[in-house]
Amino acid sequence: MSFEHFRDVILSLPLLDFNICCCFVSWATVEVGMEDRVEVFRGDTAQIACMFTSSEGIGALTIEWFYVSFRPRQKIYKQDSTMKSVERGTQFTGRISVNGTGSTGELVLTITDVLLEDEVEFICQINSLTEGDGEGHTQLRVFETPELPSIERVHTGISVSNDNPSKIGSCEVKNGYPKPNITWYRDNTPLYNVSVLHLVTMESSGLYSVRSDLNLKVMKSDKDASFYCEVSYFVPGGTRMTETNRINITVHYTSTVVSMWVESPKGEIKEGDMVELQCQGDGNPKPVFTFRHNDIELDPDTTTLVLENVTRSDSGLYECVTMNFDTYEEITGNTSLFVNYLDDAVVIPEGTAVLSEGEEMTATCNALSSLTTQTTWFKNGEQVSNEHVLTLKDAGFDTAGTYVCVVKAPEIEGMETTGTLRVFVQGEPQSTDLEETVEKMVNLSCHARGFPVPSITWTSSDGQVQHREPVSQKTTEDGVHSVVSVKVTSDINAFCNASNDYGTDAVAFSIKASGCFYALPVPGCVFVSACKSVCGSGVIVAVIIICILLLAILGSVLYFLYKKGKICGRSGKQDLTKEKSNKDNIVVEMKSDNTEEAVLLGVNGDKKPSNDQVDFCYLPPI
């Protein structure tokens, strides 16, 4: 109680008699003021202020600082008018100091490098000789921020059918002061009234570590829930919070619904496809299924059933079955499977058909199918009918060949089948001819149509062909094709003879050996050259034009040399320049390769006897 307060109480009392009023005595006391507490982090510096009032001067006051722990108060500092001293042998020795002389009524106790054990009560006591004693108290609070918290989930699955709460996870925070607090959350909602086990450990440093285990009776909805911890801890002037990462747990529960479907192929299914049936339940972990087809159990026990190269017998009802281990009841899912089919095409007549020339025939092509079909007939890749019936009228050799019918199910791509029919037409052979020339060799090609297949023989006018083996000879759909190679040396007549049981036929090849001859009319000289070739008329015309141009140039050169007397001279013979004549007696001898007769022509076209003396110069053939 302060002096003023005490005085006011006294004055408020009623007066008992006049003697009391005359005997009132006044006195003074020392008043001390301090904060209730000072908060600081461990390792920092703490300052504790002591405020006091006294009517006496500082010289009449004694100031002392104490701290109170588990033992009675212990002095750590003393100050009077003659000296200041810090007590030795205390936990604060060397770490405290007092600022101020007290003349202003204020002193500050400073503590450096604050320790956890410094969290004690401090007392500032002021002693006066006349006014008595006064003191104040301050509690020092020390704090340490903990490390970041960690969380760990239970890695094994937790069953919803467990009767007792199951451990969900553990949360831990280390090295805090004072002791941190841990709160568990599920999806941002704090968990209260649940089983939480807290384990608090004081480390050798005096700091606290806290571990918290959450135990919970899980539900199916917890499979999607997230759990985490919130750690709250004290700091100077308030509290702070931090959170851990979020964890998910594995919840085990049995299936209540099972579904089954065809995974592939999508759409219609046909024979030969690979079919994948998928089964799924809503339980966790994935249940083990047993598959059934028309109440017959299948292998294996898995979530997928694969049927390879399916047939129509694989159609029917498929089921997948699992067990609910809570109720021990079977949970079943099912789906129906239908396999479309298209049988092999059936062609009537089957295999082959033999017709006579002019005859008519009808063929059919059908295939049994679960779907609507379309039939198309082809010959040599060309469509001949778009119905299942094929009609052949007025049969001829062009009618013969292989007919292919294609039966399709348009609803399913790639679902088709084919059948073939080989048609032969009986009759006398008919030959066609083809002549091909390769360099100086002629390939004679003969194609005979008919049934039975004709046999071919080759003959020629010079007997050359009879001794040659055909280059090729092969059977075709409507007959036979033969090729023979002949070297052209002279005119040849070759024959392709075809025959079968119904008659014979032949085709003739006439090969002419053509040639071209030319001579160069040069006065006093005879130039002879000849060429033979089997060639086209266009090539011959071109060669003749080139020859004429070259001969004209060469004739002019030779004539100029002749006039100069530089060619065609021979000793012992008469010189052509000495013969008297009104005209130049220039002659040219024309010869062929097949005769020795020579005709001498004058420049003006007069014939000269062959025994005239003339020099001949032979030039090599051009």
Decide if pLDDT at 608 tops 70: no
Share of the chain above pLDDT 70, in %: 77
Mean pLDDT over the full length of the chain: 79
Decide if pLDDT at 612 tops 70: no
Decide if pLDDT at 369 tops 80: yes
Let me know whether 400 and 296 are in one domain: no
For 35-54, the pLDDT digits (tens) are 999 999 999 999 999 998 88
Instruction: Compute CA 336 distance to the chain's CA centroid, rounded to the nearest angstrom.
Output: 34
In a domain, 619, yes or no: no
Tell me the residue type at 320.
Answer: C
pLDDT bracket for residue 431 (50, 70, 90): low
pLDDT at residue 319 in the model: 93
pTM of the model: 0.52
Decide if pLDDT at 597 tops 80: no
Helix (H) or strand (E) holding 9: helix 3-11
User: Residue 410 sits in a domain of what CATH number?
Assistant: 2.60.40.10
Q: Check residues 499 and 173 and name the one with the higher pLDDT.
A: 173
Boundary-marking domain end, from 376, 397, 425? 425
pLDDT bracket for residue 530 (50, 70, 90): very low
Let me know whether 329 and 369 are in one domain: no
Bridge partners of 200? Answer: 210
Cβ neighbourhood burial of 62 (10 Å; 0-12, 13-18, 19+): middle
pLDDT at residue 509 in the model: 76
Bridge partners of 86? Answer: 77
Decide if pLDDT at 398 tops 60: yes
In a domain, 357, yes or no: yes
pLDDT bracket for residue 428 (50, 70, 90): confident
In a domain, 562, yes or no: no
Domain total in the chain: 5
In a domain, 564, yes or no: no
Let me know whether 138 and 153 are in one domain: no
Q: Check residues 590 and 444 and name the one with the higher pLDDT.
A: 444
Contact 579, 573 (CB under 8 A): no
The C-alpha atoms of residue 247 and residue 533 are separated, in whole angstroms, by 100
pLDDT at residue 566 in the model: 59
Let me know whether 274 and 231 are in one domain: no
For 130-170, the pLDDT digits (tens) are 778 899 999 999 999 999 999 999 999 999 988 899 999 99
Let me know whether 438 and 407 are in one domain: no
The C-alpha atoms of residue 255 and residue 322 are separated, in whole angstroms, by 8
In a domain, 10, yes or no: no
In a domain, 527, yes or no: no
Residue 190 domain boundaries: 147-252
In a domain, 108, yes or no: yes
